[in-house]
Amino acid sequence: MPRTARALGAVLATIVPLAAFTLAAPAASAAPGPRPAVDVIAHRGSSGAAPENTLAAVKLAIAHRSDVVENDIQRTKDGELVIMHDTTLARTTDVEQVFPDRAPWNVRDFTLAEIKRLDAGAWFASEFKGERVPTLAEWVNAVGRQAGMLLEPKAPELYPGIETDLDKELRSLPVFDHALRSGRVVVQSFNHPWLRAYKDLAPDVPVGLLFSNKPTEADIAAAATWAQQVNPALGPIDQATVDQVHARGLEIHVWTVNAGQDMRRAIGWKVDGVITNYPQVLRDILQRG
């Protein structure tokens, strides 16, 4: 299993208690326990151990036994959907070296062919040199039937009509059809008006409202009229928030939870899912009970 021992060891040691994780895969002889009620959701893939939003991060998330893999979606100049968190390519690719005169390197200013020339792995560690920015179709097929999918179009207001593009692209993929029929796909967004427009277009696709701050009771009540999930940051919320969401018949998935003590707090509140850069840590905590 690929690892970034040099870059990862120090980071993990400062983020989670040493007792809460192992860098190696579980022993093959270990008997799998019952599936926990809390979903392990790999944030941008196993982004603590591989370059975020790459196929390497997807493969590692599956190896870490994630229930769901989360991503971020942008649109290229020629209308292709790609997996990238930032609206620019600068942080996670070598675009500044390949196209030095194209600042500020917005995703929407580059064609897919140009983006495919970029290295999206070397910034993280040398062993990932040559990783490419995946298209949405490549990412969906990499997840396959091995895990659920949590899809997040990022800054959709920058891409007029992206809800139609997303719906058309997803429905062209047999893997998505299976995930939809199996209840293993959700589309989420911070842009709630955009998400409502997408839901109107694709009423059969479950959606989740992202919140940076603590959602109010009014927010939760409004969400219950058309959404399936309320997904806030863990920091601002409390047990009462979780109870209010559940009382409205909604699920709650909290983000981005990387410290072992925070994972345990979320589990104790009986959230439905925990979004983390370190799914292997969360899986270990759940198995330890």
Evaluate whether 276 touches 66 at the Cβ level (below 8 Å).
Answer: no
Q: Tokens representing 96?
A: 């500044």
DSSP 268-289: HTT-SEEEES-HHHHHHHHHH-
**Sign of the alpha-carbon torsion through 14, 37, 198, 116:** positive
Q: Distance (Å, rounded) from C-alpha 52 to C-alpha 72?
A: 10
How far from 263 is each of 108, 169, 173, 256, 270, CA to CA, in Å?
Answer: 36, 34, 34, 10, 11
Contacts 24+ apart (CB under 8 A), 104-107: 107/74, 107/75, 107/76, 107/82
43, 64, 178, 253: the catalytic one is 43
* CA nearest neighbour of 196 among 233, 232, 222: 222
* CA nearest neighbour of 60 among 7, 2, 16, 122: 2
Q: Distance (Å, rounded) from C-alpha 185 to C-alpha 25?
A: 26
43 noted as active-site residue: yes
64, 85, 178, 246: the catalytic one is 85
- Which residues are part of the catalytic machinery? 43, 85
